[in-house]
Homo-oligomer: A and B are copies of this chain.
Amino acid sequence: MNPTSDSKRDASGDARREQIKRAALKVFARRGLDGTKMSMIAAEAGVSDGLAYRYFKSKDDIFEMLVREAIDGANEAFETIGRLSVSPLERFRALTKEIIEDENNDYFVLVQQVMSADSLPKEVAQLIEGYSTLRMIDQMAPVFADGQRDGVFIDGDPRELVMWYLTVLSGLMLVDRSLLKDYRPPQTDFLLNLIVKPRQEQGV
């Protein structure tokens, strides 16, 4: 009879959940798991301390869910990029843009935090196990090799070079973006210099 009321109820619940999740993501991305107090998340979301527990079982639970979503998102992004029918260079450009220029890259930051953390809740540790830069490397290394064959990328072991490139991108996510006034993050083309082979046209 009144599906609206039902969906509204759900919608309101989901909205709250989203609101708290977004707040948590923001704080976690900035301060890490240990540095984040539940009261910070509640304050950031503009709700009371207790309310988060209506939507999440525990602080670790929120963290885990965010990491799960972050990993899913990252994998998805990689697959999307893998499906683009463009040149290897363009694929790496897309990847770099996605990671560096995306305004909402708190998710990426979170993944990096997690991967460079020294101790994690069991659940999260398992998630990471399954994830891993490895998969990214496996996906991008063949693309890189193609680029090498085209003479576009520098010579060397594709897996190692990709790993290095991803490491650089990873590191950038961990650097506080508000370090300096007038700070602009490194531009995509600047970073691509790391792997793009110099050509005569460029050189002259």
Contact = CB atoms under 8 A, between A and B. Distances in A.
Interface of A is mostly: helix
A42 to B, nearest CB: 16
A47 interface: no
A197 interface: yes
Contacts of A119: 31, 35
Q: How many copies does the complex hold?
A: 4
Nearest to A137: B180
A163 B30 CA distance: 21
Contacts of A167: 172, 175, 179, 185-186
A164 B187 CA distance: 8
A152 to B, nearest CB: 12
A51 interface: no
Contacts of A187: 164
Contact of A193 (B154, B175, B185): B154
Nearest to A184: B160
Interface stretch (A14-22, A66-74, A83-91, A110-118): A110-118
Contact of A175 (B35, B134, B161, B174): B174
A115 B176 contact: yes
B34 A180 contact: no
Contact of A174 (B132, B174, B203): B174
Interface in A157-192: 160-161, 163-164, 167-168, 170-176, 179-180, 183-187, 190-191
Interface in A75-132: 112, 115-119, 132
A176 B134 contact: no
Contact of A186 (B32, B132, B164, B183): B164
The 7 closest A-B pairs by CB, nearest first: A198-B198, A171-B171, A116-B176, A164-B186, A174-B174, A34-B34, A34-B35
